[in-house]
């Protein structure tokens, strides 16, 4: 959506989206192994209500992107907040009961999310965002 609305950095948005598809594939593969009892995963780490709220919010932001007055800085701010929230809320935190395969997938997701945060942050600053201090 953002690549269409903001073609001046469409390649950036497309790259980010492709990375997110890769992340989803990692999670799907991990889930399949957990469901087949090949991997162990501590389920209690996620509360459903915040996840549902996040999904609803992302869908609303996608609609808002086509509204007049929605700027590139708005889009970058939203993307920055999403990446930051994943890290600060420790969505990919490794628990003691997790198998090695799950731990590896979660660690890959953390590292890739940090890279995403940095890439979005650099664009955000270039398009008018102010300096921020990392909190993770």
**135 within a domain of the structure (yes/no):** no
45 CB-contact burial (10 Å; exposed 0-12 / middle 13-18 / buried 19+): middle
Residue 133 belongs to some domain of the structure: no
- For the chain, what is the domain count? 1
Q: Which tens digits make up the pLDDT trace of 25-40?
A: 998 888 888 777 766 7
**Domain contains 35:** yes
Query: Residue 3's pLDDT is what?
Result: 95
Q: What is the pLDDT of residue 110?
A: 94
pLDDT in tens, 103-126: 899 999 999 999 999 999 999 999
Average pLDDT over residues 29-56: 75
Has residue 77 been placed in a domain?
A: yes
Global pTM exceeds 0.85? no
Q: For residue 96, give the 3-state DSSP assignment.
A: coil
Containing structural domain, residue 44? 2-126
Closest by CA position to 124, among listed 86, 93, 84: 84
Q: 16 pLDDT exceeds 80? A: yes
């Amino acid at each position: 959506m953002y690549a269409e609305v903001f073609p001046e950095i469409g390649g950036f948005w497309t790259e980010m989206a492709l990375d997110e598809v890769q992340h989803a594939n990692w999670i799907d593969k991990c889930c399949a192994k957990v469901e087949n009892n090949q991997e162990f995963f501590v389920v209690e780490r996620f509360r459903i209500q915040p996840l549902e709220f996040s999904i609803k919010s992302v869908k609303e932001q996608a609609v808002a992107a086509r509204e007049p007055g929605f700027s590139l800085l708005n889009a970058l701010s939203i993307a920055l907040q999403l990446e930051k929230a994943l890290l600060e809320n420790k969505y990919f935190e490794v628990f003691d009961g997790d198998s090695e395969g799950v731990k590896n997938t979660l660690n890959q997701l953390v590292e890739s999310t940090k890279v995403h945060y940095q890439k979005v942050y650099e664009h955000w600053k270039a398009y008018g965002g102010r300096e921020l201090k990392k909190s993770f």
